[in-house]
Amino acid sequence: MGLVLFPADGDITSPDVSWSYTGFGVFRRWLAQAEGFDLSEMCGFGGQRPWNGVSTMLAPLLNHPDDDGPDLTPAQCALCLIGQ
């Protein structure tokens, strides 16, 4: 089992990434650290800190279920990409 991130645009030359769940977890912790917080402090990751208590445009990606969650919307992806 693993996780694949790709734009659903039909462009086979676009950047795609594939991780195991463990690899994605490491990536997600690194992103949270780069955003200035510890992912293990967050609700859903063993902590009590609510997601509305951090200011990051990466929240849709960082707080997304690993398994059986809905696809991120184009608007959510755009926020992660451009940070606006």
| Domain residue spans of the chain | 19-82
Q: Dihedral through CA 56, CA 75, CA 64, CA 49, nearest 10?
A: 30
Binned at pLDDT 50, 70 and 90, residue 41 comes out as: very high
What value, to the nearest 5°, has the Cα angle with vertex 3 and ends 56 and 61? 10
Question: 52: which DSSP letter?
Answer: G
| Residue 78 in this model has a pLDDT that exceeds 50 | yes
Q: What is the pLDDT of residue 46?
A: 94
Q: Model's pTM, two decimal places?
A: 0.76
Model confidence at 43, in pLDDT bands (50, 70, 90)? very high
